[in-house]
Structure 1
Amino acid sequence: MPDAFVARSLEEIRFWSRIMKEHSLFLRLGFRCEDTTLINEANQFYSIFENIENRANQFTAGTDPNVIRKFNEEVHNAVSHIWVFKRMILQLILTCQLPGANNFPLLVDHTSREANYFRNRLAELNAGRLDPLPDAIINENVFFLRIMADHAKFISHLLDPSERKLVDQANEFSHDFDQLLYQAVDLDSMRPQSQTLPMLDQFLDQNRVSVVALRDFKKTARDLIEACRIKSIIHPLLADHVYREAEHFLEIIDMFELSLTGKKN
C-alpha cells in the first residue's frame, strides 16, 4: 500500500539519517588535528544528513509516494557516499596512515555496516521487495546482535580503566551478545528447517531479554555520563546514540513478535 510505503520510508530515514549525521561527528572527533581534509569531509557529511533529517521530518504519511521514492533514491546516493568515506578511513587506519588518531577500526567498520544496512533498506523499499517474515527475523537479528555486541565492546574500551565494575558489566554484555550472535548464525545456517514458529518465537523472546538488559545498562551509563558521575572518554551524544539503537532493535523485535504470533509485548 502506498501509504505504508511512505510511512516505512520516512521512519527509516528519520532514524538512520540522524545516526549517519552523528557518525560524521564521532569520526571527526577521532581524527588528528592535522587531518583537515578528513575533518572537512566529515563536516560536509554532517550537513548533508542534517539536511536529509530535516526534510524527512517535513514530509507526512500523506506525501505522494512518487515524491518519497525519489527522496529515497537521493538518500541512498548520500548513504553510498558516506559508506565509501568510512571504508576509506578504515583502509587508512589498517595501513597505519593515521597514527595517533582515535577511531577504533572496529568502530569505523561498525558505522560502515550500518550505512550499508540503511542503503539496502532504501533499495528494498523502492523495489517493493522485503524478505519473507522468517528470513527477515533471522537476518535482522544477526545484524543487530552484532551491533549490540560491538556497542558493549566500545563502552568497555572507552570507560576509564578505574571504572572496574562498569567495565566488567560491559564485558559481560559483550560476551552475552557474542553468544547470542553465534546462536543466530547457527539458526541462519539451519534455514529453512529452523524457521518454525516455536523456534523463531523463542529466538525473539531470548534476544529481547538481553536487549532490554543492555538497553537499561546503556541508559544508566548515559545518565551517569551526562551528570559527570563516572570517568570515561565517551561523548554524551555517543552514549545516547547507542541507547537509541538498542531501543530501535527492541521495536523491531516487538514488530516481528506481533507479526509472527499476534502478541504484543
Structure 2
Amino acid sequence: MATNQIVARSLDEIKFWSRIMKEHALFLSLGFTYEQKQLIDEANGFISLFERIEEKLSRFTVNSDLRQVQAFNTEVYQAAAAIYGYKRKILDLTLRCQIRHNNFPLLIDHVSREAAYFANRLKELNEGKLAPTPDAVIEENVFFLKIMADHAKFIGHLLDPSERKLVDQAREFSHDFDQLLFQAVDLDYMRPQSETKPLLGQFLNQNKVSVASLRDFKKTARDLIEECRIKSIIHPLLADHTFREASRFIEIIEMFEASLSRT
C-alpha cells in the first residue's frame, strides 16, 4: 500500500509542478528585454526540458515499478534543482543591478522558492516520507500562505491602476494572507505536538476558508482577463497559473485534515 501511495504521490507532484516550472520559464522569458537573449534562450531550454519530462510522465501509471519511479523522481529533481539555480542567478543579477528587466525581484524569489519546494518533495518521496508530522503541516502552510500573499501582491501591481475596486481587493487579500502567515510562523515557533490536533484542525480550517475566498477571486479575475473585460498586464496563463496553485493548496489542506483525523 505504501509503495502504491509513493508512486501515485510522485506522479501527481511531477504532473502538477512540472507544468508550473515550465510556465515559470515562460513568464520569466516574457519579462526580459530583447538584448537579454542568453537568459531568454536558457528559459526556452527549461520549457523544452519540462515538456520532455511531461512526455515521459505520460508513460507511467500508478502501477509502475517503484524503482523506476524513484529513478524518474531523481531525474526530475535534477531538473528542478537546475531551474532553481537559474532563477537564483537571475535574482542575484537583478539585485546587484547588473540586469534590468520587467520581472519583479519578489516574483523571481517566489518562483525559486517553488522550485526548491518541488525538489524537496521529490527527495522526501524517494525517502519514503508520506505521512505529515504536525511540524510538517505547519511548515507546509507557512510556505503556501507566503505564496498566496505574494500572488495577491502581484495581482495588485499588474492590474491597471484604473481598476480601483479589483486593486483594492487584491491589497486586502495581501494584508489578510500576511496576517495568516505571521500567525502560522508564530504557531511554528510554538511547535505543537500531535496531541494538539484540535489546534491544528482549527488552523487548517481557517486557512482553507481564506484560500477558498482567494481562489474564487483569482477565478473571477482569470475569467475577466480571458474575456478582455478588465484592464491589466496579466497574461491569461499567469491568471490561471495562480488559480491552480490556490486550488492545490486547498487539496493539500484537505489531505492534512484527513491525515489528522486518522491519527
TM range (shorter): over 0.9
2:39 is aligned to: 38
Q: Post-superposition shift, 1:141? A: 0.4
Quick check: 2:134–2:194 contact (8 Å CA) kept in 1? no
Aligned to 2:25: 24
Q: What code does the residue aligned with 1:165 have?
A: K
Query: Given the two structures, how large is their TM-score scaled by the length of structure 2?
Result: 0.97
Aligned mates of 1:131, 1:144 — CA distance in 2:
18
TM-score normalized with structure 1 length: 0.96
The one-letter code of the counterpart of 1:243 is F
Contact 1:212–1:250 under 8 Å retained in 2: yes
Gap change, CA 1:173 and 1:94, over 3 Å in 2: same
| Partners of 1:94 and 1:105 within 8 A in 2 | yes
- Contact residue 218 and residue 243 of structure 2 kept, 8 A: yes
Count of residue correspondences: 261
In 2 relative to 1, CA 3–148 (structure 1 residues): closer, same or farther, beyond 3 Å?
A: same
Cα RMSD for the two superposed structures: 1.2
**Match in the other structure for 1:256:** 256
**Structure 1 CA distance for aligned equivalents of residues 70 and 164 of structure 2:** 49
Check 1:181–1:2 CA distance in 2 against 1; reply closer, same or farther (3 A cut): same
Kindly provide the CA deviation profile for residues 4-58 of structure 1, in whole angstroms up to 9, marking residues without a partner as x. Answer: 1110000000000000000000000000001000000000000001111222132
- Pairwise CA distance, 1:109: 0.2
What does 1:71-220 align with in structure 2 at a 5 Å threshold?
Answer: 71-99=72-100, 101-130=101-130, 132-192=132-192, 196-220=196-220
User: What is the CA–CA distance in structure 1 between the aligned matches of 2:65 and 2:122, rounded to whole Å?
Assistant: 17
* Residue in structure 1 matched with residue 240 of structure 2 by the alignment: 240
Aligned-partner Cα distance in 2 for 1:200–1:48: 39
Distance 1:131 1:258 in 2: 11
Aligned amino acid, residue 167 of structure 1: V
Once residues 200 and 193 of structure 2 are traced to their aligned partners in structure 1, the CA distance between those partners, rounded to angstroms, is: 11
Q: 1:194 to 1:143 in 2, by over 3 A?
A: same
Quick check: 2:134–2:193 contact (8 Å CA) kept in 1?
no
Contact 1:14–1:57 under 8 Å retained in 2: no
**1:126 CA displacement:** 0.6
Deviation at 1:136, TM superposition (A): 1.9
Letter of the aligned partner of 1:59 in structure 2?
A: F
The residue identity in structure 1 corresponding to 2:11 is: L
CA distance in 2, matches of 1:31, 1:126: 36
Contact 1:187 1:194 in 2 (8 A): no
In the alignment, the residues of structure 2 paired with residue 168 and residue 221 of structure 1 have an alpha-carbon distance, to the nearest angstrom, of 13
Give 3-state SS (helix, strand or coil) of 2:58's partner.
helix
The residue correspondences of 1:60-75 to structure 2 (distance < 5 A) are: 60-75=61-76
**What is the percentage of aligned positions where both structures have the same residue?**
68
- Asked whether the 8 Å contact 1:134–1:195 carries over to 2, the reply is no
CA–CA distance in 2 between the matches of 1:196 and 1:230? 45
